Amino acid sequence: MTNSLVFKKAKTHLVGGVNSPVRSFKYVGTAPLLIKRGKGPRVYDYDGNSYIDYVLSYGVSILGHAHPGVVRSLKNTLEHGAGFGATNSREVELAGLIKKADPVIEKLRFVNSGTEAVLGATRLAKACTGRDKIIKFRNSYHGHADYLLEEIDKGSAEGIFKKHGSRIAGVIVEPVGGNCGVRLPDKDFLKYLRRITRKYGSLLIFDEVITGFRFKFGSVSDILGVKPDLICLGKIIGGGLPIGAYGGKARIMNKLAPLGDLYQGSTFAGNPIVMQSGIATLKVLSSSKNRYSSLEKKAKKLTDAIKKERDDLQVIHYKTIFSLRFRKKAHFQSFYKKLLKKGIYLAPSENEANFISFSHTEKDIDKTIDAVKNVLREI
């Protein structure tokens, strides 16, 4: 099957031919990339073209695609059944690995997506405090629940607390922004949020669905020195399979049923196949703790080279993630299409982050730099 034939059939059966809007490539005004397979830092379409991948399933595939250890582990696990709707040793093992890596988490609960993790954490904040309001900030994304699509500006936080403090159950924030392009962490503001939530008896929730295990073996809260009450995880901890988790101090988490009164359940949470994928991935990452700096060096090399090329191109980089934004959207669209033809796959929107994986080589980075330079000279 060819790309065009697959997409023609997709549009017949799926809304817009996709199961998530950004996959439509509407922002860049071109037909979407349809991916047949991936290996290491590359993906391959149905026409046989290969691309160096900086999307990595939107940050999931930190080891690259089809890591042999993860694949082998999944095959062995699948022989014993795909799921049981009952507790299994693999979810216990993965929870232990996460707890060991993140001292904020004493207990956790697995769910099936980042959206679900945030939904669970915010409901838990309300149950713990007996309050009904959650604060989130402009240009942050915490899933598609209706009440999480409303927002305030950072500068409004103090006024909101003065007016509604007794009703605010929690504040949720991305410690490093990744859903309006990359946004650098504001350590002073995060410390302020920690102080004001304690003052008013509200919970501070870090959405680390993107950042958990992305910059170190653990959460970015360790790097920033700000400890939230609850942390939401996803993406990397599932090793490429659907997952979410939220955790924090035992006294908070124990409000969940069956120990507490707040009900939350799921048929697929703790699925043994997903859990084994996460275990295999985190074990590789644990043995690679000292190699995170190599990802940072590659990201810096790439972004530093791009920054030198154009004054109208904003490059924002934090450790192992980066985003690009032109003054004119049309320039990004042209840049994107030309770069894709040269075999470089970036996020198809200026509002999305790009990622470096452990599978990217210096050769991949150098090829990308050359391609970017050539394309920028053409537009």
Average pLDDT of every residue of the chain: 95
Q: Are 126 and 260 in the same domain?
A: yes
Cβ atoms of residues 197 and 182 within 8 Å: no
Average pLDDT over every residue of 2-31 = 95
**Band of residue 138 on the pLDDT scale cut at 50, 70, 90:** confident
CATH number of the domain enclosing 190: 3.40.640.10
Which residue do the tokens 């940050």 mark? 59
Answer whether the bond into residue 185 is a cis peptide, omega within 30°: no
Active-site choice (53, 102, 207, 229) = 207
CA distance linking residue 92 with residue 120, whole number of Å: 19
Q: Are 212 and 117 in the same domain?
A: yes
Range of 336's domain?
Answer: 3-66+290-378
Inter-CA distances, 75 with 69, 243, 276, 378, Å = 10, 18, 10, 46
Q: How many CB atoms lie within 10 A of CB 59?
A: 24
Question: Taking Cα atoms as reference points, which of 267, 290, 376, 347 lies closest to residue 59?
Answer: 347
Q: Are 62 and 81 in the same domain?
A: no
Query: Looking at 230, 265, 287, which one is the last position of a domain?
Result: 287
CA distance linking residue 275 with residue 77, whole number of Å: 10
Burial of 39 (0-12, 13-18, 19+ CB in 10 A): middle
Q: Active site includes 141?
A: yes
What integer pLDDT is reported at residue 145 of this predicted model?
63
Cβ atoms of residues 188 and 225 within 8 Å: no
Number of domains in the chain: 2
CA distance linking residue 263 with residue 218, whole number of Å: 28
Q: What percent of the chain has pLDDT over 90?
A: 91
Q: Active site includes 235?
A: yes
Q: Is the pLDDT of residue 13 over 60?
A: yes
Query: Looking at 240, 255, 287, which one is the last position of a domain?
Result: 287
Q: Are 39 and 59 in the same domain?
A: yes
Q: Active site includes 207?
A: yes
Q: What percent of the chain has pLDDT over 70?
A: 97
For 348-371, the pLDDT digits (tens) are 999 999 999 999 999 999 999 999
Find all residues with CB under 8 Å of 331, minimum gap 6, and list them: 312, 313, 379
Question: Taking Cα atoms as reference points, which of 73, 14, 69 lies closest to residue 40?
Answer: 69
Structure tokens at 75: 């095959």
What integer pLDDT is reported at residue 224 of this predicted model?
96
Residues β-bridged to residue 324: 315
Question: Taking Cα atoms as reference points, which of 173, 171, 254 lies closest to residue 209?
Answer: 173
CATH number of the domain enclosing 363: 3.90.1150.10
For 290-346, the pLDDT digits (tens) are 999 999 999 999 999 999 999 999 999 999 999 999 999 999 999 999 999 999 999
**Band of residue 147 on the pLDDT scale cut at 50, 70, 90:** low
Classified as helix, coil or strand, 371 is: helix
Active-site choice (235, 246, 336, 345) = 235
What integer pLDDT is reported at residue 97 of this predicted model?
98
What integer pLDDT is reported at residue 230 of this predicted model?
98
What integer pLDDT is reported at residue 157 of this predicted model?
82
What integer pLDDT is reported at residue 152 of this predicted model?
61
Q: Are 74 and 62 in the same domain?
A: no
What integer pLDDT is reported at residue 151 of this predicted model?
59
Find all residues with CB under 8 Å of 295, minimum gap 6, and list them: 319, 320, 356, 357, 358, 360
Q: Are 266 and 321 in the same domain?
A: no
Q: Are 210 and 278 in the same domain?
A: yes
CA distance linking residue 216 with residue 253, whole number of Å: 25
For 238-249, the pLDDT digits (tens) are 999 999 999 999
Q: Are 180 and 192 in the same domain?
A: yes
Q: Are 258 and 301 in the same domain?
A: no
Burial track 103-139 (b if 16+ CB lie within 10 A, e otherwise) = ebbebbbbbbbbbbbbbbbbbbbbbbbebebbbbbee
Cβ atoms of residues 62 and 56 within 8 Å: yes
**Band of residue 156 on the pLDDT scale cut at 50, 70, 90:** confident
Average pLDDT over every residue of 14-30 = 96
**Band of residue 141 on the pLDDT scale cut at 50, 70, 90:** confident
Active-site choice (27, 51, 141, 246) = 141
What integer pLDDT is reported at residue 149 of this predicted model?
46
Q: Are 84 and 184 in the same domain?
A: yes
Query: Looking at 287, 313, 340, which one is the last position of a domain?
Result: 287
Q: Are 97 and 53 in the same domain?
A: no
What integer pLDDT is reported at residue 140 of this predicted model?
84
Q: How many CB atoms lie within 10 A of CB 250?
A: 11
**Band of residue 179 on the pLDDT scale cut at 50, 70, 90:** confident
For 33-70, the pLDDT digits (tens) are 999 999 999 999 999 999 999 999 999 999 999 999 99
Average pLDDT over every residue of 149-173 = 82
Q: Are 207 and 278 in the same domain?
A: yes
Average pLDDT over every residue of 259-276 = 96
Q: Alpha helices, DSSP H only, in the chain?
A: 3-13, 56-59, 68-78, 89-101, 114-129, 157-164, 187-200, 220-224, 250-253, 272-287, 292-307, 329-341, 362-378
